[in-house]
Amino acid sequence: MKQFRNSARIVAAPRYTSRGCDGFQHRSIFIVNAKSDFEMLSDLRGGVCAVNGFDSNTGMNLLRATIAPLAESKSFFGSVVVTGSHVASVQAVANGRADLAAIDCVTFAHLECFEPKLTARVRQIGQSVLAAAPPFITAWKTDDATLAVLRRALNEVASDPELGFIRSALLIGGFEFVSESDYELALQIERDAAAAGYAELR
C-alpha cells in the first residue's frame, strides 16, 4: 500500500490455515521469552522491542497500534532494534537480546513445525487485530486478460488434489481475489496510531 502502490497489481491473497487466520486475513502474535515474568503488554514498558523492519505490517504496524493506548503519546520501550526478519526477531527474544517481538501467525506456525526448539523458548503474550495477508502481485502493466489467466492458474492450484500436500505444507487453504480496498485497513491502523500520538514505535 506504500512502496508498491501504483506499481503493482494484486493477483490474490492466500487463505492460510494456521491458528490466528480468518479467510484472507491473518494477525501478529506478540512473544516474550518463555522464562520471563512478563504477563501482559503493559509489563514491557521500558523493555527492548525487536522488529523485522519499520515497513512491516505484522512486525511493526500492528504492534504499534496495540501499544499506542498504553504509550499515551510517550515513548513506551527503552529501545527498538531492527532484526531484518521475523525469524531473527524470534531468535532475539529467545536469546534474551529483546524482550518482545510481533510475529505474523503464519510464520510462527511454520517455525513451530520446522524450528520447534526455537519456538519452545518463547511464549505468546497477546495478539493483534486481523489484517489482510500479503498478496501475490504482478506488474502494474499486466492487462486484465493476463490477470485473469493468473487467477485461473491459482484456482487450479487450489483445487488440484495432487498438490494437496504442497498446500498443506505451505498452510494454504485457497486464495481470495482481493483488491486494494481490502488493504486500506493497514493504512487506517497507521493513521489511528498517529492520531493517538504514537506515530512511531518507540
Q: What span, in angstroms and rounded, lies between the C-alpha atoms of 2 and 151? A: 24
Q: What is the pLDDT of residue 188?
A: 96
Rg (CA), the chain: 18
Q: Are 98 and 89 in contact (CB under 8 A)?
A: yes
Q: Environment class of residue 139 by beta-carbon count within 10 Å: exposed (0-12), middle (13-18) or buried (19+)? A: exposed
Element containing residue 30 per DSSP (H, E): strand 28-33
Q: What is the pLDDT of residue 67?
A: 98
Helix (H, G, I), strand (E, B), or coil: what is residue 154?
helix
Q: What is the pLDDT of residue 2?
A: 82
Is pLDDT of 6 > 90?
no
Residues of the chain above pLDDT 90, percent: 97
- 28-128 CATH fold: D-Maltodextrin-Binding Protein; domain 2 (3.40.190)
Is pLDDT of 3 > 90?
no
Tell me the Ramachandran region of residue 197: left when phi exceeds 0, alpha when psi lies from -120 to 50, beta otherwise: left
Q: What span, in angstroms and rounded, lies between the C-alpha atoms of 19 and 25? A: 11
The residue extents of the domains of the chain are 1-24+133-196, 28-128
Q: Environment class of residue 99 by beta-carbon count within 10 Å: exposed (0-12), middle (13-18) or buried (19+)? A: buried
**Out of 57-61, 169-173, 180-184, which region has the weakest mean confidence (pLDDT)?**
180-184
Is pLDDT of 1 > 90?
no
Is pLDDT of 54 > 90?
yes
For residue 15, list its beta bridge partners: 174
Q: What is the pLDDT of residue 83?
A: 98
CA dihedral of residues 100, 104, 107, 111 (deg, nearest 10): 30
pLDDT tier for residue 59 given thresholds of 50, 70 and 90: very high
Supply the mean pLDDT for the chain: 97
Element containing residue 49 per DSSP (H, E): strand 48-51
pTM: predicted TM-score of the whole model, two decimal places: 0.94
Digit-coded pLDDT (tens) for 100-122: 999 999 999 999 999 999 999 99
